[in-house]
């Protein structure tokens, strides 16, 4: 089947060279049993490519199933994929077939493969290499003939380097890699896609399709599209339903585009050469706060020495004045009466006092540096910023959607 026929059959819009190449690779590899790894950002349509590969293969009349690995709890994913025996764990009142048994002879699409636990990765590797698996709670080996197509929006090689993904499984999965381009890498297709979605929704709601003026088209093309085609489709539907005018200007379009920032939570890079990893985001935040505190302590020590030495203080008076303005050095008159008791922990220079709690045993901790509350507040802000759309909030926070869901439950955050 030629590329244009595939586009027509699966309603794929666009003429980007990168998109055409990805479709060509999918068509060429379809009639083999090679494992395929589809890479691409969230919302680019990776599942459509898995359906194309299955429908053009010799397995097209056999079962096809799509499994979101990130949506299945870690404790049950082995049972979902490989099945379990009666009584193998609490709640296993009956034996159950897994996907690799029910889809035998067909194709299984494993989306968000990077979310698989390491133990499950080892079992998946055995299926790919030998076609064998064992149900949870059983010792009997079973055979299966299933083609695996995997997809991820993460850099699996980076996960391999930090020990979160098996290297042997990565190379076994990526026999044939397919890169689905992000929407911001297909600027020539954005207007075509918007026009197609607008026409579809106009037909659905029995109205005239909305159109964009030139300035609005340029704004649409220059928008970064963090949600890719899925986000563009949502915006086209919103405009079709909510806009009073059929000719959309840039000022009108701007109201529908989300303010987007590519900021991410800071990552801690392991430079010690050991294999220690932080078990969760909270440990990373702890280390960041401790490192910041250490830097501030060193800065305090340096300026204590400066204030104790009149010559150094005179030479750096301009810098000290800047610190006063930043409230690092506090005027005596502004300090509470209980803190103006000058002890060895406090040094006075002119009408200013530099308080250094780190030199002595007594140490004050700012009460608002509660890490749990900080983390909870950050999550709430991200959710509100993206109107409680978890996928976008998770991307902004730099965590997986499953981790964000767990945090929402942990902190009992109410969603509308």
pLDDT digits (tens, 9 = 90+) for 138-189: 889 999 999 999 999 999 999 999 999 999 999 999 999 999 999 999 999 9
d(CA 251, CA 13): 27
Output the pLDDT for position 14. 92
pLDDT category of residue 351 using cuts at 50, 70 and 90: very low
Question: Average pLDDT of 303-320?
Answer: 61
Superfamily of chain region 3-181: P-loop containing nucleotide triphosphate hydrolases (3.40.50.300)
The DSSP call for residue 181 is P
With beta carbons less than 8 A apart as the criterion, state whether 121 and 164 touch: no
Q: Topology of 371-410 in CATH?
A: Arc Repressor Mutant, subunit A (1.10.10)
SS3 at position 208: coil
Output the pLDDT for position 121. 95
Tokens of 146: 């299933």
The DSSP call for residue 94 is S
Question: Average pLDDT of 90-112?
Answer: 90
pLDDT of 352 higher than 70: no
Q: What percent of the chain has pLDDT over 90?
A: 51
Of 35-44, 235-244, 301-310, highest mean pLDDT: 35-44
Q: When comparing pLDDT for 364 and 178, which is higher?
A: 178
With beta carbons less than 8 A apart as the criterion, state whether 248 and 238 touch: no
277-310 per-position pLDDT tens digit: 444 455 556 556 656 666 666 666 666 666 666 6
In order of 7, 27, 163, 342, 344, the CA distances from 58 in angstroms are 20, 12, 36, 85, 83
Q: When comparing pLDDT for 109 and 404, which is higher?
A: 109
The DSSP call for residue 206 is T
Q: What percent of the chain has pLDDT over 70?
A: 73
185-194 per-position pLDDT tens digit: 999 999 999 9
- Domain map of the chain by residue range? 3-181, 184-254, 281-359, 371-410
Output the pLDDT for position 347. 45
Q: Topology of 184-254 in CATH?
A: Helicase, Ruva Protein; domain 3 (1.10.8)
Output the pLDDT for position 283. 55
d(CA 149, CA 108): 6
Least confident residue range of 2-6, 264-268, 288-292, 299-303: 264-268
Output the pLDDT for position 345. 42
Q: What is the pTM of this model?
A: 0.61
């Amino acid at each position: 089947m030629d590329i244009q026929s595939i586009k027509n059959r699966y309603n794929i819009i666009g003429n980007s060279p990168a998109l055409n190449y990805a479709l060509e690779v999918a068509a060429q590899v379809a009639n083999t049993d090679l494992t395929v790894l589809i890479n691409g950002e969230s919302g680019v349509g990776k599942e459509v490519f898995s359906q194309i590969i299955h429908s053009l293969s010799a397995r097209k009349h056999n079962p096809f199933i799509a499994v979101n690995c990130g949506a299945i709890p870690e404790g049950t994913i082995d049972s979902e994929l490989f099945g379990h025996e009666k009584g193998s764990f609490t709640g296993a009142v009956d034996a159950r077939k897994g996907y690799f048994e029910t889809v035998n002879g067909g194709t299984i699409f494993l989306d968000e493969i990077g979310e698989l636990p390491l133990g499950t990765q080892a079992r998946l590797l055995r299926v790919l290499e030998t076609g064998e698996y064992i149900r949870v709670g059983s010792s009997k080996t079973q055979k299966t003939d299933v083609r695996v197509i995997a997809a991820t929006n993460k850099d699996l090689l980076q996960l391999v380097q930090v020990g979160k993904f098996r290297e042997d499984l990565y190379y076994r999965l990526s026999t044939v890699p397919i890169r689905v381009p992000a929407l911001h890498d297909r600027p020539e297709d954005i207007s075509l896609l918007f026009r197609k979605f607008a026409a579809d929704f106009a037909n659905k709601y029995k109205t005239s399709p909305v159109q964009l003026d030139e300035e609005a088209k340029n704004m649409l093309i220059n928008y970064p599209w963090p949600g890719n085609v899925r986000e563009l489709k949502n915006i086209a539907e919103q405009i079709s339903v909510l806009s009073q005018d059929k000719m959309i200007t840039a000022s009108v379009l701007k109201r529908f585009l989300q303010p987007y920032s590519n900021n991410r939570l800071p990552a801690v890079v392991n430079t010690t050469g050991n294999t220690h990893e932080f078990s969760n985001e909270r440990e990373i935040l702890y280390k960041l706060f401790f490192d910041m505190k250490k830097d501030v302590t060193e800065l305090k020590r340096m300026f204590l020495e400066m204030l104790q030495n009149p010559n150094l203080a005179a030479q750096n008076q301009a810098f000290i004045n800047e610190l006063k303005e930043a409230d690092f050095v506090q005027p005596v008159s502004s300090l509470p009466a209980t803190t103006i008791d000058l002890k060895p922990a406090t040094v006075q220079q002119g009408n200013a006092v530099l308080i250094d709690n780190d030199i002595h045993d007594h140490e004050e901790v700012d009460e608002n540096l509660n890490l749990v509350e900080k983390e909870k507040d950050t999550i709430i802000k991200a959710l509100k910023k993206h109107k409680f759309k978890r996928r976008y909030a998770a991307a902004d926070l730099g965590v997986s959607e499953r981790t964000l869901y767990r945090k929402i439950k942990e902190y009992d955050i109410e969603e509308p």
